[in-house]
Amino acid sequence: MFDLSGKTALVTGSGSGIGEAIANALAGAGAFVYVADLNEASGKTVAASIAADGGKAEFLKLDVSNKDECNAAAAYVHSARGELDILVNNAGIGHVGTILTTDSNDLERLFAVNVRGMFDLTKAFIPKMIERKYGVVLNVASIGGLLAIRDRIAYCTTKFAVVGFTKCIALDHALDGIRANAICPGRVETEFVRSRLAEYPDPEKAYKEMASTQAIGRMGKPEEIAAAALYLASDEAAFVTGTALEIEGGWAAGR
């Protein structure tokens, strides 16, 4: 099951965290994976690690907020591999604040990466997917794309947009052989989250408070999100499109 041998995938923001875990999972299932990230050092490290484990990967430097770079990435992949089977739009950034403490420039900064970058990169790849009647688009959204989260107005606004974008791609291109799904994680314990926790006066207390948001009393692991991504990217999920899969430890169960 979940055999991706012969498939080519590109995962944005895969130099660390959830993106890294997804890249590892897809490569472990046999896919050739482009590790696309703005951070060259971490991206190359992930690609090298995949290769060391017997997988196939290549680092691709990419700033998704730059439309020209998105188009260039698609041109490069198509030239080198002929086609892209799986596009994972994972790159994203966050912001803390209500409407009173969030500037319109903050919203634009998040929109440029979380929404417009996803739009531009998908648009660069989807014509060839339509042409060959096959393609998987997997977008990493958030539970904050389905439910409001306090002090996260800009973040939630963009993640709600990601869910809507995903459903539109799924509906518009279902008969073109393209499946589009979104993953909506709760809080996931990544290097980024741990570094932010270290900034709190009482990191242990902050961790417990963040973990308690999930009904099961802990944060998720990147590998748990990656397992869902592997399923949705595989042909075993051939009848799944337009969904927003919640992987959030029961965060929304009581709402």
Q: What positions carry a catalytic annotation?
A: 155
Distance CA 14, CA 39 (A): 9
Strand residue runs (E) in 39-162: 56-61, 86-89, 135-140
Cβ(95)–Cβ(155) below 8 Å: yes
- Within 8 A by CB and 6+ apart from 17, the residues are 188, 190, 191, 192, 222
Q: Of the candidates 63, 165, 166, which has an alpha carbon nearest to the alpha carbon of residue 117?
A: 63
Distance CA 36, CA 46 (A): 10
Strand residue runs (E) in the chain: 8-12, 32-37, 56-61, 86-89, 135-140, 178-185, 244-247
